[in-house]
């Protein structure tokens, strides 16, 4: 069996800072004691570049999978992070890559060491975990936490209480679905046609209606943090009606045509020229029998106005996938100064703002993932979750974090690469030429990537289409 060592300059163990030579000595002693062959070592210094860090090199080494069974050894948890939350995330990332992490100091698995320290740290727990634990205790008592669901408000005793005007709408939604047989989209359309606003005064969508139909809170059951308390508050619908709704929704999911999982080239780029909302890719499957008795099947793919799909508003603005994509290709081939059909995006600096907003969103999700990992470790420390199960679930968070970090790096690189307007125009023209010349040869992902570099948005209204370039 082989072992790889991971060392970090200035990392601490038991309150003392260990030099790289000391960490190396402990790693070699661990290998000798447990019979491991040294496979490789990786070091991170204070000045290491994020893209070429020893940690990333180690992950690539593990993922190659041509070294046989390997374990990763760290001097102590301080090598993995300055606090247990960061240490847990790094540990999970290494294990998701394919190597079990051991602590040289104790000789135990790092996962066990992290859980043991988390369990014994008491008041030293991160604020996020202490708050979460307090909220769980309140949830067990049946006290409402956070924003109450539509139809309820939080009363003086912290229990959910009915909001009469909203409760009537909830019951109306269930009645339309069960008694009148309306689908989710048509229910959203009915509510909007009757000028019934959401709590925030907005319009209803398929998502908001679906969430109400699925929420067990309307049975009088309060659920939060894995705690479920029946008869916590007054119900708005009967158990029979709620069960009927779930059965109908399950039948429609099994029998409905649904949307195709195959991506659409223009997703996120094409907008309805009538209402300004996005047009989304929709796939419909049909099956029929010919006069000769032959069974036929066909799949139709097209772009449809999201307002029409989700809220049953806007008029019927639908474009066949192949036809619209061919029109976009023709528009790209026209001269950049075409007077009617080609338009420039208004603000040349808007792209930089979009990328900055994208970075902020990605970093927010990274913080959220870390909080979820902290909660996971806290549950394992509290005995609610076996360590192996914690690692299995945590592997998904670790994988998501690596993807988010790559996206952040890519976005920052794009932001740093922003040049003058003239340079951007020249680069966009070259990209457009490359895209048109190799359109058929490129994969869908490659075509989509290049399109996003040169196209700001596409506005479609029936036969009329406008393409706004990104420069």
Q: Where are the domains of the chain?
A: 2-124, 140-255, 270-331, 344-469
Q: CA-CA distance, 249 to 246, in Å (whole number)?
A: 5
pLDDT category at 308 given cuts 50, 70, 90 is low
- DSSP per-residue codes, 95-158: HHHT-EEEETTT-SBHHHHHHHHHHH-GGGS-HHHHHHHHHHHHHHTT---SSPPTTEEE-TTS
State mean pLDDT over 358-387: 88
Percentage of the chain exceeding pLDDT 90 = 22
79 and 21 Cβ atoms separated by less than 8 Å:
no
Strand-pair category, 295-305 with 279-289: antiparallel
Q: CA-CA distance, 107 to 112, in Å (whole number)?
A: 11
Cα 242 vs. chain centroid, distance in angstroms?
Answer: 29
- DSSP per-residue codes, 318-378: EEEHHHHHHHHHHHHHS-TT-TTTEEE-S-TTHHHHHHHHHHHHHHHHHHHHHHHHHHHHH
State mean pLDDT over 293-299: 83
How much is the pLDDT for 46? 63
Query: Which is more confidently placed, 137 or 437?
Result: 437
262 and 282 Cβ atoms separated by less than 8 Å:
no
- Segment of 277-291, 310-324, 338-352, 394-408 carrying the highest mean pLDDT: 394-408
How many alpha carbons fall within 13 Å on the CB side of residue 2? 15
How much is the pLDDT for 257? 47
pLDDT at 313 over 80: no
Q: CA-CA distance, 72 to 59, in Å (whole number)?
A: 10
Q: How does DSSP classify residue 78?
A: G
pLDDT category at 196 given cuts 50, 70, 90 is very high
Strand-pair category, 2-8 with 70-74: parallel
**Residue the block writes with tokens 């030579």:** 21
State mean pLDDT over 40-51: 70
Tell me the per-residue pLDDT of 77-96, one tens digit each, with 9 for 90 and over.
888 888 888 899 999 999 99
**Entry pTM:** 0.46
State mean pLDDT over 32-57: 79
If you average pLDDT over every residue of the chain, what do you get? 81
Nearest alpha-carbon partner for 11 in 54, 49, 63, 66: 54
65 φ/ψ sector (left φ>0, alpha ψ -120 to 50, else beta): left
How much is the pLDDT for 338? 44
pLDDT at 66 over 50: yes
Strand-pair category, 455-461 with 270-272: parallel
Q: Which residues pair with 7 in a beta bridge?
A: 43
Query: Which is more confidently placed, 32 or 69?
Result: 32
How much is the pLDDT for 341? 41
How much is the pLDDT for 14? 61
pLDDT category at 249 given cuts 50, 70, 90 is confident
pLDDT at 256 over 60: no
Q: In what helix (H) or strand (E) does residue 227 lie, and over which residues does it extend?
A: strand 227-229
Q: CA-CA distance, 87 to 113, in Å (whole number)?
A: 10
Q: Which residues pair with 73 in a beta bridge?
A: 5, 102
Nearest alpha-carbon partner for 389 in 400, 377, 399, 398: 377
pLDDT category at 132 given cuts 50, 70, 90 is low
Q: What's the Cα-to-Cα distance from 433 to each of 14, 332, 426, 448, rounded to whole Å?
A: 60, 9, 11, 14
Handedness of CA 235, 238, 239, 241 (dihedral sign): negative
pLDDT category at 10 given cuts 50, 70, 90 is confident
432 and 454 Cβ atoms separated by less than 8 Å:
yes
pLDDT category at 145 given cuts 50, 70, 90 is low
How much is the pLDDT for 15? 61
Helices (H), ranges, 141-280: 164-178, 184-193, 206-214, 239-255
Q: In what helix (H) or strand (E) does residue 446 lie, and over which residues does it extend?
A: helix 444-454
Percentage of the chain exceeding pLDDT 70 = 82
Query: Which is more confidently placed, 137 or 75?
Result: 75
How much is the pLDDT for 187? 92
Q: CA-CA distance, 395 to 97, in Å (whole number)?
A: 9
How much is the pLDDT for 420? 55
How much is the pLDDT for 123? 37
Q: In what helix (H) or strand (E) does residue 402 lie, and over which residues does it extend?
A: helix 387-416
CATH topology (fold) of 140-255: Hect, E3 ligase catalytic domain fold (3.90.1750)
42 and 4 Cβ atoms separated by less than 8 Å:
yes
Structure tokens at 372: 């979820």
Q: Which residues pair with 297 in a beta bridge?
A: 287
State mean pLDDT over 395-403: 90
Any idea which architecture 2-124 has in CATH? 3-Layer(aba) Sandwich (3.40)
How much is the pLDDT for 343? 42
């Amino acid at each position: 069996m082989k072992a790889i060592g991971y060392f970090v300059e200035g990392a601490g163990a038991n309150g003392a800072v260990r030099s790289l030579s000391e960490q190396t000595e402990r790693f070699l002693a661990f290998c000798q004691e447990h019979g491991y062959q040294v496979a490789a070592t990786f070091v991170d210094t204070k000045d290491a570049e994020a893209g070429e860090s020893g940690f990333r090199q180690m992950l690539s080494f593990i993922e190659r999978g041509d070294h046989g069974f390997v374990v990763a050894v760290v001097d102590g948890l301080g090598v993995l992070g300055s606090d247990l939350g960061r240490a847990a995330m790094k540990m999970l990332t290494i294990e998701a890559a394919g190597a079990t992490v051991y602590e040289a100091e104790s000789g135990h698995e790092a996962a066990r060491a992290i859980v043991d320290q988390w369990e014994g740290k008491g008041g030293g727990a991160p604020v996020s975990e202490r708050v979460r634990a307090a909220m769980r205790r309140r949830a067990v008592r049946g006290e409402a936490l956070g924003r109450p669901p539509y139809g309820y408000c939080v009363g003086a005793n912290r229990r959910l209480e009915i909001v009469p005007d909203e409760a009537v709408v909830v019951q109306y939604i269930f009645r339309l679905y069960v008694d009148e047989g309306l689908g989710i989209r048509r229910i959203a359309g009915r509510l909007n046609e009757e000028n019934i606003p959401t709590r925030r005064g907005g319009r209803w969508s398929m998502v908001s209606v679906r969430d109400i139909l699925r929420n067990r809170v309307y049975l009088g059951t309060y659920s939060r943090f894995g705690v479920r308390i029946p008869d916590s508050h007054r119900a708005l619908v009967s158990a029979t009606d709620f069960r009927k709704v779930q059965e109908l929704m399950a039948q429609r999911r099994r029998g409905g045509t649904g949307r195709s999982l195959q991506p659409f080239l223009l997703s996120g780029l094409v907008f309805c020229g009538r209402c300004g909302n996005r047009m989304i890719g929709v796939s419909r499957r049909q099956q029929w029998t010919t006069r000769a008795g032959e069974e036929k099947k066909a799949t139709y793919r097209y772009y449809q106005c999201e307002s029409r799909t989700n809220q049953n508003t806007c008029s019927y603005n639908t474009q066949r996938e192949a036809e619209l994509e061919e029109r976009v290709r023709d528009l790209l081939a026209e001269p950049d100064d075409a007077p009617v059909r080609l338009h420039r995006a208004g603000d040349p600096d808007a792209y930089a703002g979009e990328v900055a907003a994208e970075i902020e969103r990605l970093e927010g999700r990274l913080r959220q993932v870390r909080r979820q990992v902290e909660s996971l470790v806290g549950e394992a420390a509290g005995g609610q979750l076996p360590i192996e199960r914690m690692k299995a679930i945590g592997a998904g968070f670790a994988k998501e974090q690596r993807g988010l970090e790559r996206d952040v790096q890519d976005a920052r690189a794009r932001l740093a690469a922003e040049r003058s307007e003239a340079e951007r125009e020249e680069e966009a023209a070259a990209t457009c030429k490359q895209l048109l010349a190799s359109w058929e040869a490129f994969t869908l992902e490659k075509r989509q990537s290049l399109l996003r570099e040169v196209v700001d948005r596409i506005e479609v209204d029936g036969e009329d289409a406008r393409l706004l370039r990104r420069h």
